[in-house]
């Protein structure tokens, strides 16, 4: 075959290829059927719309429902994933809440259990459970009664109680995810409002610092007491629950 005939044959084959490729690409491009629902847009894909013609309406509705439910499930999974940024959701976001006060103190050389009630003010308490923050600031006002026991003549005991008004300011830290070494770091001031006149003198007040143990409701409180016009100064140590 001559070179001229060979070149013509090559040109003819190249022309047929260029002409047939768009037809081939068009035939292989998938057709879509779009259905709008409240959950979103559903797209059914096929290589030909004629295949949808052979299916009845119930089949198409079932396919659409399957896609819609799948879309809702994906959205629900996404919502659950978004909620994992919280360790816990607070249903009651009211910033003021009552809290019990309970524990055991070592004052001078005597063990003194105490019991009381406090009001806790924390306007951003939800931040305690948020991974991006992990802590919140609080103000606490409490009335706490300390009980001591005194031996009377005849080997009997009587119970004395001294009531302190305490104010505390500090932070609570969510260390479930290792955000800190303590669950709480705070400090405050207490003043004697009702005394037995035996265990504490008049005008007694104290300074204290709270250290919450990690992942625990237990708090250690070193204290320093001042009474009788700063004439007497003595330390104390409290193990506080809640």
- Clarify whether residues 32 and 112 are in a common domain: no
- Give the tens place of pLDDT for each residue, 45-55: 666 656 656 56
Residues in the chain: 242
- Give the tens place of pLDDT for each residue, 132-150: 778 899 999 999 999 987 7
Is residue 91, in this structure, part of any structural domain at all? no
- The answer to whether 179 and 145 have CB atoms below 8 angstroms apart is no
Q: By CB neighbour count within 10 A (0-12 exposed, 13-18 middle, 19+ buried), where does 93 fall?
A: exposed
In the predicted model, is pLDDT for residue 87 greater than 60? yes
- Clarify whether residues 110 and 47 are in a common domain: no
As a whole number, mean pLDDT of residues 112-137 equals 90
- Clarify whether residues 110 and 53 are in a common domain: no
pTM equals 0.63
Counting the structural domains of the chain, the total is 2
CA distance 180 to 211: 12
In the predicted model, is pLDDT for residue 64 greater than 90? no
- Clarify whether residues 63 and 146 are in a common domain: no
Is residue 233, in this structure, part of any structural domain at all? yes
Query: In a 3-state reduction of DSSP, which class is residue 45?
Result: strand
Domain that includes residue 35, residue range: 3-83
- Clarify whether residues 101 and 209 are in a common domain: yes
CA distance 68 to 221: 57
In the predicted model, is pLDDT for residue 99 greater than 90? yes
The proportion of the chain whose per-residue pLDDT surpasses 70, expressed as a percent, equals: 62
- Clarify whether residues 108 and 78 are in a common domain: no
As a whole number, mean pLDDT of residues 73-90 equals 69
- Clarify whether residues 77 and 101 are in a common domain: no
Helix (H) or strand (E) holding 25: helix 3-28
The proportion of the chain whose per-residue pLDDT surpasses 90, expressed as a percent, equals: 33
> Is the pLDDT higher at 62 or at 6?
62
CA distance 75 to 78: 5
């Amino acid at each position: 075959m001559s070179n001229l005939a060979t070149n013509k044959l090559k040109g003819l084959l190249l022309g047929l290829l260029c002409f047939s490729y768009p037809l081939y690409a068009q035939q292989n491009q998938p057709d879509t059927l779009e259905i709008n629902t409240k959950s979103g847009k559903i797209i059914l894909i096929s290589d030909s719309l004629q295949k949808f013609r052979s299916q009845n309406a119930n089949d198409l509705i079932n396919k659409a429902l399957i896609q819609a439910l799948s879309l809702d499930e994906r959205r629900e999974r996404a919502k659950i994933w978004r909620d994992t940024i919280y360790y816990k959701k607070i249903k009651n976001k009211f910033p003021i809440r009552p809290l019990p006060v309970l524990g055991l103190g070592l004052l001078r050389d005597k063990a003194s259990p105490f019991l009381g009630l406090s009001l806790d003010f924390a306007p951003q308490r939800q931040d305690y459970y948020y991974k991006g923050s992990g802590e919140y600031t609080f103000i606490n006002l409490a009335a706490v009664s300390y009980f001591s026991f005194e031996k009377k003549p005849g080997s009997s005991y009587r119970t004395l109680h001294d009531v302190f008004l305490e104010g505390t300011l500090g932070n609570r830290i969510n260390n479930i995810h290792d955000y800190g070494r303590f669950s709480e770091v705070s400090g405050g001031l207490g003043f004697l409002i009702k005394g037995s006149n035996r265990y504490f003198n008049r005008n007694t007040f104290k300074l204290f610092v709270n250290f919450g143990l990690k992942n625990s409701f237990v708090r250690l409180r070193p204290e320093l007491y001042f009474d009788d016009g700063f004439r007497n100064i003595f330390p104390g140590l409290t193990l506080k629950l809640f």
